[in-house]
Amino acid sequence: MMQSIKAKNSAINTVVYAFLIIGVVIMVVPYVWMLVTSFKPQAEIQSYPPSFIVKNPTIEPYRDLFTLIPMARYLFNSIFVATAVTLGNLFFCSLAGYAFAKHRFFGRDKLFFLIIASLMLPWQVNLIPGFVLIKKFGWLNSYNALIIPKLAGAFGIFLCRQFIISVPSDLIDAAKIDGCGEFKIYRLIILPLIKPVLATLAIFTFMQQWCDFIWPLIVIHSSDMRTVPLALSVLSGQFSTNFGMVMAGAVVATLPMLVVFIAFQKYFMKGIAMTGLKA
Amino acid sequence: MRKKNLLTELNEMKMSYLFILPAIGLFLVFIIVPIFFSFFLSFTKYNVFQAPQWIGLGNYKQILMHDERFWKTMRNTLFYVVGVVPIGVTLALILAIAVDQKIRAKNFFKTMFFLPTVTSIVAVSVIWKWMLAGEKYGLINNFLMKFGIQPIDWLMSVQWTLPSIMIMDIWRGIGYNMLLFLAGLQTIPKVMYEAADIDGAGTWDKFWNVTLPLLRPTMVFVGIMAFIVSFQMFDQVYIMTGGESGIGGVLDCALTGVPYLYDEGFSKFRMGYASALAYIIFGCIMVVTLANMRFLKTKVKY
Contact criterion met (CB < 8 Å) for A31 and B115:
yes
User: How far is the C-alpha of A252 from the C-alpha of A79, rounded, in Å?
Assistant: 12
Where are the domains positioned within chain B? 2-41, 62-297
Q: What's the pLDDT score for residue A14? A: 87
Using the Cβ of B208 and the Cβ atoms of chain A, whether some distance falls under 8 Å is answered with no
Tens of pLDDT, residues A115-130:
888 887 888 899 999 9
Tell me: pLDDT of A246 over 90. yes
Using the Cβ of A7 and the Cβ atoms of chain B, whether some distance falls under 8 Å is answered with no
DSSP run (H or E) holding B45? strand B44-45
User: How far is the C-alpha of A82 from the C-alpha of A99, rounded, in Å?
Assistant: 26
User: How far is the C-alpha of B61 from the C-alpha of A54, rounded, in Å?
Assistant: 58
Partner-chain residue, chosen from B24, B26, B30, that has the shortest CB–CB distance to A130: B30
Residues in Cβ contact with A77 at an 8 Å cutoff, skipping those fewer than 6 apart: A143, A146, A225, A226, A227, A228
User: How far is the C-alpha of A105 from the C-alpha of B93, rounded, in Å?
Assistant: 46
Q: What's the pLDDT score for residue A150? A: 94
Using the Cβ of A3 and the Cβ atoms of chain B, whether some distance falls under 8 Å is answered with no
Using the Cβ of B82 and the Cβ atoms of chain A, whether some distance falls under 8 Å is answered with no
Record the pTM: 0.89
Tens of pLDDT, residues A63-105:
999 999 999 999 999 999 999 999 999 999 999 999 999 888 8
Q: What's the pLDDT score for residue A278? A: 47
Tens of pLDDT, residues B191-245:
888 888 888 888 888 888 888 888 888 888 888 888 888 888 999 999 998 765 5
Instruction: Show which of residues 170-209 on chain A sit within 8 Å of chain B, judged by CB atoms.
Output: 182-183, 186, 207
Q: Which of A245-249, A271-275, B146-150, B185-189 has the lowest mean pLDDT?
A: A271-275
Q: How many residues does chain B have?
A: 302
Q: What's the pLDDT score for residue B204? A: 82
Amino acid sitting at position A227: T
Q: If you count residue pairs, one on A and one on B, with CB atoms under 8 Å apart, how many are there? A: 266
Cα→Cα distances A202→A4, A94, A265, A271, B179, Å? 51, 11, 13, 11, 21
DSSP string, A82-132: HHHHHHHHHHHHHHHHHHHHH---TTHHHHHHHHHHHHTS-GGGGHHHHHH
Give yes or no for a contact between B254 and B139, defined as CB atoms under 8 angstroms apart: no
Closest C-alpha to B206, from B220, B188, B221, B183: B188
Partner-chain residue, chosen from A30, A48, A125, that has the shortest CB–CB distance to B128: A30
Amino acid sitting at position B251: L
Residue A35: band (very low, low, confident or very high) from pLDDT cuts 50, 70, 90:
very high
What is the rounded average pLDDT of the residues B287-295? 78
Which residue in chain B has the smallest CA separation from A8? B203
CATH architecture of B62-297: Orthogonal Bundle (1.10)
Contact criterion met (CB < 8 Å) for B266 and A27:
no
What ipTM is given for this predicted complex?
0.89
Which three-class secondary structure state does DSSP give residue B253?
Answer: coil
Q: What's the pLDDT score for residue A196? A: 87
Q: What residues of A are in contact with residue B271 (Cβ under 8 Å)?
A: 128, 132
Tens of pLDDT, residues B149-186:
888 888 888 899 999 999 999 999 999 999 889 888 88
Tell me: pLDDT of B302 over 50. no
Where are the domains positioned within chain A? 2-58, 62-275
Residues in Cβ contact with B195 at an 8 Å cutoff, skipping those fewer than 6 apart: none
Q: What's the pLDDT score for residue B1? A: 43
**B10 vs B90: which has the higher pLDDT:** B90
Tens of pLDDT, residues B29-55:
999 899 999 999 999 999 888 888 899
Task: Round the average pLDDT of chain A to a whole number and report it.
Answer: 88
CATH of domain A62-275: 1.10.3720.10
Pairing relation of β-strands B44-45 and B53-54? antiparallel
- Which residues is B44 bridged to in the sheet? B54
